[in-house]
Structure 1
Amino acid sequence: MTEEPDQHPVNGLDDVVHQRVRLGILTVAHEARRVEFGFLRTALGLTAGNLSQHLAVLEKAGLVAVEKGYEGRRARTWLSLTPAGDRALRDEVTQLKRLIQLIEQGGPVPEGQDSP
């Protein structure tokens, strides 16, 4: 992510990724590589409808892949991060680290410098 040196790190946060529920979805999917809808719903404390809406946003943005199928006789939905989703999550974490460093050190974080 290329930024102007004087651009504040908060400007680099992605509104699609940064929303709490969507950040949680991407994080759990990153940890699990492939996660079942019901597990994700329970882990994040969401209703099925709420989770579905957030997944639709992430899928439309190309950040997750949704796979529908059956496990035995039960319909199941799984999701996994796409390469773009993995990059978006990593970029978001990088921007959050820059923001944390800015707060902890009381000054701007130079572009290309990661927090310790």
Structure 2
Amino acid sequence: MTATEGGHARHRLDEVIHAPVRFSIVAALAKVENAEFAAVRDAVELSDSVLSKQAAQLEAAGYVKIKKGYVGKRPRTWLSLTAQGRTAFQSHLAALRAIAEG
């Protein structure tokens, strides 16, 4: 994130979160403690491959934690926002509001 004090709010937008698909994923995860991969996929209306790729980018940025495990014998993947991810999302929203309010 580029921080320019006193400058236009767009400089405070988080480039990782700003992409529409990643923004949608982070927004969905911000409402819950964690979510199963399929639930996020369906909520955000993505294919498995797109969600997987975008979630990996968010994980690389430190914004999302990806946990794999099993329910019975079925493999499952859960996604959750990290503390850093929640903070980045709130800052991004604040910048969007500042832009919208002029």
Same topology, TM > 0.5: yes
- Specify the SS of the correspondent of 1:41: helix
For 1:71-86, what aligned pairs fall within 5 Å after superposition?
A: 71-86=71-86
Matches for 1:1-116 after TM superposition, within 5 Å: 3-5=4-6, 7-102=7-102
Query: What TM-score, normalized to structure 1?
Result: 0.83
Measured in 1, the distance between the counterparts of 2:5 and 2:63 equals 25
Hey, what's the Cα distance between the residues in 1 that align with 2:89 and 2:68? 23
How far is 1:63 from its partner? 0.3
Secondary structure at the residue paired with 1:32?
coil
| Structure-2 separation of matches of 1:4 and 1:59 | 28
Aligned residues: 101
Where does residue 105 of structure 1 map in the other structure?
A: none
User: How far is 1:2 from its partner?
Assistant: 5.3
Aligned CA distance change for structure 1 residues 2 and 50 (closer, same or farther; 3 Å)? closer
TM-score computed with the length of structure 2 as normaliser: 0.93
| Residue 8 of structure 1: how far off its partner (Å) | 1.1
- Residue identity (%): 37
Equivalents in 2 of 1:90, 1:101: separation in Å?
16
What SS is found at the alignment partner of 2:31?
Answer: helix
Once the two structures are TM-superposed, the CA of residue 59 in structure 1 deviates from its matched residue by 0.3
Deviations 1:39-83 (A, max 9, x none): 111111111000011001000000011100011111000011101
User: Which structure 1 segments of 5+ residues have no match?
Assistant: 103-116
TM-superposed CA distance for 1:29, in Å, is 0.9
Q: RMSD in angstroms over aligned alpha carbons? A: 1.3
